[in-house]
Amino acid sequence: MKITVLDGFTLNPGDLTWGELEKLGKLTVYDRTPAELVVERCRDSEIVFTNKTPIDGNALEALPKLKYIGVLATGYNVVDVVEASKHGVTVTNIPAYSTMSVAQHVFAMLLTATDHVEHYAEEVRDGKWCRSKDFCFTDTPLIEVAGKKMGIIGFGNIGRAVGQIAQAFGMNVIVYTSKTKEELPPGVEKVSLRELFSDSDVITLHCPLTESTKEIINRDSLSLMKEGVILINTGRGPLIDEEAVAQALEEGKLKAFCADVLSSEPPAETNPLLRAPNVYITPHIAWATKEARERLINIAVSNLQSYLAGHPVNIVS
Residues designated as active site: 236, 265, 284
**H/E/C letters for each residue in 247-282?**
HHHHCCCEEEEEECCCCCCCCCCCCHHHCCCCEEEC
Q: Could you tell me the CA-to-CA distances from 71 to 4, 9, 256 in Å, in that order?
A: 12, 14, 34
Which are the contacts of 292, defined by CB distance < 8 A and separation ≥ 6? 97, 98, 100, 101
Distance CA 196, CA 194 (A): 5
Cβ neighbourhood burial of 312 (10 Å; 0-12, 13-18, 19+): middle
Q: How many helices (H) and strands (E) does the chain have?
A: 11, 12
Cβ neighbourhood burial of 264 (10 Å; 0-12, 13-18, 19+): exposed
Count Cβ atoms below 10 Å from residue 191 Cβ, excluding itself: 16
Distance CA 24, CA 228 (A): 53
